[in-house]
Amino acid sequence: MKELLPKIYEYINALSPKRRAHTYGVEKAAFMLAKVHYPQLDKALVAAAALLHDCTKELNEDEQLEAAEKYGAVFGDEEKAVCKLRHAVTGAAVAKTLFGLPDEAVSAIRYHTTAKADMSPMEKILYLADFTDENRKDELCRNVRKRYYENLKKDKCSAMDETLLYALEESIAVLKEECKKIHPHTIEARNFLKENLANEDNKRRFEQ
């Protein structure tokens, strides 16, 4: 995986300065999250997933369609309806086809915008790192970053899932407020985490 990184950096350096800064910010945030919660993960793979997560974000609608055809990406109904969601699908296809990334990283890119139920460590890291990138100054991202550090202080074990749940619930609230559709994967992710955290909580109480 390490040998792929120069090719990935070359690709990323062709992006706009704003996208590049966000990309490196997500890489930094992903390293930090991996170090704290999943130190067993391959650092180069974490870097590759973070660096490529928005690699097609700057493509316009036509270019998204072209990339989908070229790299074999298939849009679901939600991606067909909302252009903003397409870069996760085309980005994952580019990561797989052009760079040969393994499924673990490809899936993290695929679900970095919507999340999904029962996320893997790599999927969780990328979803959260996209919010906690220090370059993002909007209210939602600032709140998620703040909440993560508060959760980390309280309990390192549950900090990741608690913050993911918070980020999902806040994102759903924003979409509702803006009268936008909520992707079913986002709702499933929220429900899965909610139930999982409640079960963990019950288990801990039972063991005390």
Shortest distance (Å) from residue 118 CB to Fe ion: 21
Q: Which is nearer to Fe ion, 26 or 45 (CB)?
A: 26
Nearest to 185 by CA among 95, 107, 72, 106: 107
- Residues forming contacts to Fe ion in the complex (CB under 5 A) are 54, 130
Q: Which is nearer to Fe ion, 81 or 198 (CB)?
A: 81
Give CA–CA dist 8/47, Å, rounded. Answer: 10
Nearest to 199 by CA among 163, 191, 33: 191
Query: How many other C-beta atoms lie within 10 A of the C-beta of residue 155?
Result: 10
Shortest distance (Å) from residue 93 CB to Fe ion: 14
Shortest distance (Å) from residue 156 CB to Fe ion: 25
The DSSP letter of residue 182 is -
Q: Which is nearer to Fe ion, 9 or 155 (CB)?
A: 9
Give CA–CA dist 108/88, Å, rounded. Answer: 9
Q: Which is nearer to Fe ion, 76 or 203 (CB)?
A: 76
Shortest distance (Å) from residue 208 CB to Fe ion: 40
